[in-house]
A = this chain, B = another copy of it.
Amino acid sequence: MNTMKAAVFVEPGKIELQQRPIPKPGPTDALLKVTTTTICGTDVHILKGEYPVTPGLIVGHEPVGVIAELGSAVTGYQVGQRVIAGAITPCGQCHSCLDGVSSQCGGKAMGGWQLGNSIDGCQAEYVLIPNAQANLTLVPDGLTDEQVLMCPDIMSTGFGGAESGHIRIGDTVVIFAQGPIGLCATAGAKLMGATRIIAVDGVPERLEVARRLGADITLNFRDCDPVTRIMELTGGKGVDVAIEALGTQQTFESCLRVLRPGGTLSSLGVYSGKLSMPLDAIAAGLGDHHIVTTLCPGGKERMRRLMEVVASGRVDLTAMVTHSFALDDIVEAYALFAAQKDGVLKIAIKP
Q: Give A contacts to B, CB under 8 Å.
A: 27-28, 72-73, 90-93, 95-104, 107-111, 113, 131, 133-134, 159, 163, 168-170, 172, 188, 191-193, 195-196, 216, 237, 247, 260-262, 267-277, 279, 282-295, 299-302, 304-306, 308-309, 311-312, 314
Q: Are B279 and A274 in contact (CB-based, < 8 A)?
A: yes
Cα distance A96–B305 when bound, in Å?
12
Q: Is the CB of A276 within 8 A of B279?
A: no
CB proximity of A24 to chain B, nearest CB, Å = 16
Which residues of B lie under 8 Å from residue A196 when comparing CB positions? 308, 312
Contacts of A262 in B (CB 8 A): 96, 99-101, 103-104
Cβ A292 vs Cβ B293 within 8 A: no
Q: Which residue of B lies closest to A113 (CB)?
A: B286
Given A95-B301, A272-B279, A285-B270, CB of A261 within 8 Å of CB of B108: yes
CA distance A103 to B195 in the complex (A): 24
Chain B residues closer than 8 Å to A260, beta-carbon distance: 104, 107
Contact A102 B110 (CB under 8 A): no
Q: Number of copies of this chain in the oligomer?
A: 4
Q: Do A109 and B270 touch (CB < 8 A)?
A: no
Instruction: Report the separation of the CA atoms of residues A260 and B95 in the bound assembly, to the nearest whole angstrom.
Output: 12
Residues of chain B with a CB closer than 8 A to A100's CB = 100, 262
Nearest-neighbor residue (CB-CB) of A133 within chain B: B93
Q: Contact: A101 with B170, CB < 8 Å?
A: no
B188 touches A191 (CB 8 A): no
A134 lies within 8 A of B92 (CB): yes
Chain B residues closer than 8 Å to A98, beta-carbon distance: 90, 92, 102, 134, 299-302
Residue in B108, B276, B282, B299 whose CB lies within 8 Å of A293: B282
Using Cβ atoms and an 8 Å threshold, which residues of chain B touch A314?
193, 195
A109's closest neighbor in chain B, by CB? B283
A274 and B274 contact, CB distance less than 8 A = no
Asked if B131 and A309 sit within 8 Å, CB to CB, the answer is no
CB contacts (< 8 Å) of A113 on chain B: these are: 286
Closest to A240 in B: B99
Expressed in whole angstroms, the Cα–Cα distance for A73 and B74 within the complex equals 11
A287 touches B295 (CB 8 A): yes
Beyond A193-B192, A293-B287, whether A27 also contacts B73 by CB under 8 A is yes
- In contact, B271 and A274 (Cβ under 8 angstroms): no
A121 CB to closest chain B CB, in angstroms?
17
A75 to B: closest C-beta gap in Å: 9
Which 10 pairs of residues, A with B, have the shortest CB-CB distance? A170-B305, A101-B262, A104-B261, A92-B92, A109-B283, A195-B312, A98-B301, A93-B134, A276-B276, A92-B93
Known: A108-B261, A170-B306. 9 other contacts (CB 8 A): A73-B73, A95-B304, A98-B102, A107-B261, A109-B283, A159-B169, A191-B193, A275-B277, A291-B291
A73 and B99 alpha carbons, distance in the complex (Å): 22
Show 23 residue pairs from A and B whose CB-CB distance is below 8 angstroms, ordered by the A residue.
A92-B134, A93-B133, A95-B301, A96-B261, A96-B301, A98-B102, A98-B300, A98-B301, A98-B302, A104-B287, A104-B288, A109-B261, A111-B261, A169-B188, A193-B314, A247-B285, A267-B285, A270-B286, A275-B285, A277-B277, A282-B293, A290-B292, A291-B291
